Amino acid sequence: MDKVNALGILEFFSIAASIVAADAAAKAAQVKLIEIRLGMGIGGKSYITLTGDVGSVKAAVEVGANAVAQTGMLLNKEIIPSPKKEVFNNLL
């Protein structure tokens, strides 16, 4: 991958919350889901990673977080506007 896009990460206390958030985020903006990592070996927690241009990633992360906000299952959300290429490539 030559161009490194923005990276969005959402972390949850439950598997269901990550699936709901991933669906909402993917529908909200032009982003590509990199991974939905579900609970095995991480204490039932889950996380999603997604990529796209900075504006799309910001929008998707906010929509994904808001989709589960009332459940209390969102642990953390982060946006890295320009991750180092090696970090990004290790997620693929």
Domain range summary for the chain, segments of one domain joined by +? 6-91
Residues in the chain: 92
pLDDT attached to residue 89: 80
Measured distance CA(20)–CA(30) in Å, rounded: 17
Measured distance CA(75)–CA(2) in Å, rounded: 31
Tokens of 64: 């994904």
How does DSSP classify residue 81? Answer: S
Measured distance CA(91)–CA(30) in Å, rounded: 19
Instruction: Indicate the fold that domain 6-91 takes in CATH.
Output: Alpha-Beta Plaits (3.30.70)
Going residue by residue through the chain, which has 92 residues, state the pLDDT in tens, using 9 for 90 and above.
456 799 999 999 999 999 999 999 999 999 999 999 988 776 789 999 999 999 999 999 999 999 999 999 999 999 999 998 888 788 76
